[in-house]
Structure 1
Amino acid sequence: MEWYTVGLGLLGLLVFFIAIGLPIPFALAAASIPFLLSIQSLSTSLITAELKLWGVWVDYILLAVPLFVLLGELIGRSAIGPNLFWFMHSKVPIKGAAAYGSIGACAGFGAVCGSSMVGSLTIGGVALPEMLKLGYGKRLSSGVLAAGGTLSVLIPPSLILLFYGIVTDQSIGELFIAGIIPGVILVSFFVIIVAIWGWLYPKDIPSQDDSVPIPWGLALSAVLPVILIGLIITVSIYTGIATPTEAAAVSCVATLILAFTVGGLNVQGFLEALKSTMKTMGYLGLLLSAGVLFGFVMTYYRVPQQFTNLFIAMELSPYLVLLVIIVFYIILGMFLEPVSMTFITLPTLYPLVSAAGFDLIWFGVIYTITMEVAVLTPPVGLNLYVIQALARKQITIGDVMIGCLPFIGSLVVLLGLMIWFPEIALWLPDIMD
């Protein structure tokens, strides 16, 4: 069977199964099975599928995924996340403090949680009602919080960077470190957008913040744990003391202790965090397993290699290839969520990026930024619906979409800067070597 027949067949079956409503993990597996049976007997195919499923759950690197998910759940269900927002806006005596505080809280939460949706839900659940009560504009309030959640997938630890590293066989530690400077730049862009928004639409930002200041004891109980956990993750990986999996384990234990001692977490909240983590990992585990099976079939028929050779034979400019890939992901992101895109498309496309001469660590950051755009673009922009659900009676999905537009623009600008100055992502990993 020719490689293009297999490639088109896999893609056609996948689209068909998703269109009839089959969950993506099952759609990936179902699309793979006919081609798997064409190269193996039924009994051998079943063994292959079992090995792929088991291999995902015992992979040492993948152990970091449930640990980071649990870490985020513990922070979200304790008082640390809400108090972080309270501190960020009540201790900054400037106009627009709640909007700037939302960005700061999302950035701080991103330093301990790698999930964009959890970031938006945790900080947004506290910040959105408060901002609306204080008189902030609906579009500004919803836009800044939906976009703020994306900081969790660029500032390490990042689940998207983790999955990217697994698929492309790149250093997870280097990918995490590469995301730090772009993450800081993106935070700065978001702050500038809020300042310009307040200048253009002064009615959207109240002149006086009447919120109750947070006591310094509660402030420190939110800020110090986030700083400590962020340092454990970043410094241990940066210095080589620990692998990402070890750093995730140590930071998870530290978070558990801090959540109980200073975060007000109770046993019921802990059990809920465990339950939510298991639900998330049940889906992610199936998705990873099905993605590995899907990738096995493509690799057997050399679909990624032949696809890369086809593009090389066309002698396209490397930057044209990169532009096509970025546009492809932005369009695809309107219909698929980032984790699914990673396991469906990345095995085929990253060899093309490598063949074009681009650094795969650098491209990992580029890829992650495009995934940030994906969670903000309809009709399947997850962060849009998360924020709108928090204030369904006051904010429409249209308000959230319009509010996100300038922040999406800043992500596009960051992509341009990354392409023009690759050192933005590569400088820190280079000095690590």
Structure 2
Amino acid sequence: MEWYYVGLGLLVLLMLFISIGLPIPFALAAASLPFLWEIQGWSTSVVSSELKLWGVWIDYILLAVPLFVFLGELIGKSNIGPNLYQFLHQGVRVRGSAAYGSIGASAGFGAVCGSSMVGALTIGGVALPEMLRLGYGKRLSSGVLAAGGTLSVLIPPSLILLFYGIVTDQSIGDLFIAGVVPGLILVSCFFLIVLVWGFLKPQDIPSRQDAAKMPLLMILMTIGPIALIGLVITVAIYAGIATPTEAAAVAALLTVILAFAVGGLTWQGFKQAIFATMRTMGYLGLLLSAGVLFGFVLTYHRVPQEFTEFFLSFDLSPTMVLMIVLVFYIVLGMFLEPVSMTFITLPTIYPLMAASGFDLIWFGVVFTVTMEIAVLTPPVGLNLYVIQAISKDDVSIADVIIGCLPFIASMVLLIALLIAFPDLALWLPEQMN
């Protein structure tokens, strides 16, 4: 069977199954099966599917995923995350401190948890009601928190960078460290947006906040856990002491101890964190398994390789190829969530980017920023609905979308900076190596 028949057939079937409401993992598997039967026959395909499913669940590298998710859930169910926001809000005695504190807390949370949605829910659940109570504008409050959650996707450890490394067979440690400088630039851009917003719409930022200062012991109990967990992950991976999976395991165990010792975690909260992790991994596990099956069919029929040769036959410049890919991802991000996009599209796209001469570590950072944009663009922007659900009586989905627009613009600016200055992503990994 010709590669283009397979590629178009997979795409049409996938869109058909998604449009009738089939969950994406099942849609991926269902689209793959007819072509798998054509390759292997019915009985062999069943065994092959079982092996692909089992292989994902026992993959050593993928064990880092539930560990990082569990770590984030523990912080969310304890007081560690909320206390971080309170410290940054109360400790910075400037106009707009709650907005700056939300960004700082999201960045700090991102340094220990790789999930955008968990980050938005944890910090937003505390910060949004407090910001609205203090008199911040609805659009600023919701926009800051929805966009702040995306910092967990870029600042390492990042689940999207982890999945990208698995699909493209790139060093996960290099990908993590490549996201550090762009992540700090994005945090700075978010701070600048709040500052400019305050000048343009002073009514959206109250001149005085009635927050009391935190005692020194509370400050130590707030900063200490986040700093220690982040340090363990960072040093273990970048110093070559442990693999990302081993670092995630040690950090998760440390988080359990700290969450109970200083974070006020209860046994009920601990059980909720376990069940939330199981629910998340139930979906991600099926998605990973179906993605592997989908990728196997693509690879068997050489769809990525043939597509790359076909695309390059148009003699487009590398910059034009990159622009087309970025626009494709931004549009697709309006309809699919980032993890699904990663496993559906990357097996075909990354060979094209490599053949066009782009560094795959650099492209991993650019890809991740486009995934940040995806969680903020309607109609399927996950962070939009997470933040709106926190205060649905006070904030409309339109408020969240409009509030996110300046932050989306800053992400587009970051992509432009990465294209103009690739060393923003590549310099630090080169120095570490």
TM-score by length of 1: 0.99
- Are 1:57 and 2:60 counterparts? no
| Structure 2 residue 270 is matched with structure 1 residue 270 | yes
The reply on whether 1:110 has 2:72 as its aligned counterpart is no
Deviation at 1:214, TM superposition (A): 2.5
User: What is the aligned partner in structure 1 of residue 240 from structure 2?
Assistant: 240
Partner of 1:193: 193
* 8 A contact 1:115–1:159 mirrored in 2: yes
The 5-angstrom pairing of residues 35-74 of structure 1 reads 35-74=35-74
| Post-superposition offset of 1:213 | 2.6
Question: Offset of 1:236 from its aligned partner?
Answer: 1.2
Name stretches of at least 5 consecutive residues in structure 2 with no aligned partner. Answer: none
Alignment of 1:285-324 (within 5 A): 285-324=285-324
CA distances 1:315-337 after superposition (whole Å, capped 9, x unpaired)? 11001000000000000000000
What do residues 25-76 of structure 1 show as CA deviations (whole Å, max 9, x unaligned)? Answer: 0000000000000111211001110110011011110000000000000000
Cα distance in 2 for residues equivalent to 1:54 and 1:164:
20
Deviation, structure 1 residue 149: 0.3
Amino acid at match of 1:252: A
Equivalent AA in structure 2 for residue 260 of structure 1: F
Please say if residues 65 and 159 of structure 1, whose CA atoms lie closer than 8 Å, have aligned partners that are also in contact.
yes
| One-letter amino acid of the counterpart of residue 142, structure 2 | S
- Name the residue aligned to 1:372: 372
2:230 is aligned to 230
User: 2 CA distance for matches of 1:371 and 1:142?
Assistant: 19
Aligned length: 433
Residues 257-309 of structure 1, C-alpha deviation per residue, up to 9 Å, x if partnerless?
A: 10000000011111110000001000000000000000000100000000001
What is the match of residue 413 of structure 1? 413
Secondary structure at 1:39's aligned position in 2? helix
CA–CA distance in 2 between the matches of 1:112 and 1:224? 13
8 Å Cα contact 1:142-1:387 kept in structure 2: yes
> Which AA in structure 1 matches 2:180?
I
Q: For the Cα contact (< 8 Å) 1:134–1:211, is it kept in 2?
A: no
Deviation at 1:217, TM superposition (A): 1.8
1:110–1:156: 8 Å Cα contact kept in structure 2? yes
Shift of 1:220: 1.7
Question: Are positions 1:179 and 2:179 aligned together?
Answer: yes
How many Å separate the matches in 2 of 1:395 and 1:326? 31
Aligned counterpart, 1:148: 148
User: Is the Cα–Cα contact under 8 Å of residues 89 and 101 in structure 1 kept in the other structure?
Assistant: yes
Q: Secondary structure at the match of 1:37?
A: helix
Distance 1:271 1:215 in 2: 31
Out of 206-215 and 411-420, give the one that drifted further: 206-215
More displaced, 221-230 or 159-168?
221-230
Q: Which string of whole-angstrom CA distances, capped at 9 and with x for unpartnered residues, describes residues 378-433 of structure 1?
A: 00000000000011000110000000000000000000000000000001110122
Quote the offset at 1:211 in angstroms.
Answer: 1.9
Distance 1:122 1:327 in 2: 31
State the alpha-carbon separation in 2 of the partners of residues 379 and 205 from structure 1.
Answer: 28
Matched, 1:97 2:84: no
Aligned ranges for residues 369-408 of structure 1 at < 5 Å?
369-408=369-408
C-alpha offsets along residues 123-147 of structure 1, whole Å, 9 cap, x if unaligned?
Answer: 0000000000000000000000000
Distance 1:414 1:268 in 2: 41
1:92-148 deviations in whole A, cap 9, x for unaligned? 110000000000000000001100000000000000000000000000000000000
2:81 maps to 81
The residue identity in structure 1 corresponding to 2:406 is P
Query: Aligned with 1:234: secondary structure?
Result: helix
Output the CA distance in 2 between the equivalents of 1:12 and 1:311. 20
- Structure 1, unpaired ranges of 5+: none
Separation in structure 2 between the aligned mates of residue 216 and residue 101 of structure 1, nearest angstrom: 18
Contact 1:326 1:370 in 2 (8 A): yes
Distance 1:359 1:123 in 2: 34
1:331 maps to what in 2? 331
1:312 Cα shift?
1.6
Decide whether the 8 Å contact of 1:96 with 1:206 is kept in 2: yes
Which letter maps to 2:267? V
State the SS of the aligned residue for 1:367: helix
Task: Find the residue that maps to 2:150 and give its secondary structure.
Answer: helix
Distance 2:346 2:215 in 1: 47
* Structure 2 CA distance for aligned equivalents of residues 342 and 54 of structure 1: 20
Equivalent-residue separation in structure 2 for 1:214 and 1:284 (angstroms): 39
Please give the alpha-carbon distance, in whole angstroms, between the structure 2 residues aligned to 1:56 and 1:173. Answer: 20
- In 1, distance between residues paired with 2:177 and 2:244? 11
SS of match in other structure, 2:429: helix
More displaced stretch, 125-134 vs 39-48: 39-48
On the 8 A contact 1:106/1:152 being kept in 2, the answer is yes
Whole-angstrom distance in 2 between the partners of 1:228 and 1:126: 22
Distance (whole Å) between structure 2 residues aligned to residue 163 and residue 417 of structure 1: 24
Q: Report the TM-score, using the length of structure 2 for normalisation.
A: 0.99
Given that 1:155 and 1:179 are in contact with CA atoms closer than 8 Å, whether structure 2 keeps it comes out as yes
**After superposition, what is the alpha-carbon deviation per residue over 1:170-219, rounded to whole angstroms, capped at 9, x for unaligned?**
00000000000000000000000000000000000000001233222222
Q: What is the letter of the counterpart of residue 67 of structure 2? A: L
Aligned to 2:6: 6
Q: In structure 2, how many angstroms separate the alpha carbons of the residues matched to 1:239 and 1:339?
A: 28
Give 1:352's aligned amino acid: L
Q: Give, in whole Å, the separation in 1 of the partners of 2:397 and 2:214.
A: 32
Letter in 1 for 2:149: G
Q: Residues of 2 paired with 1:371 and 1:411: CA distance?
A: 10
Within 2, Cα distance between the matches of 1:49 and 1:218? 52
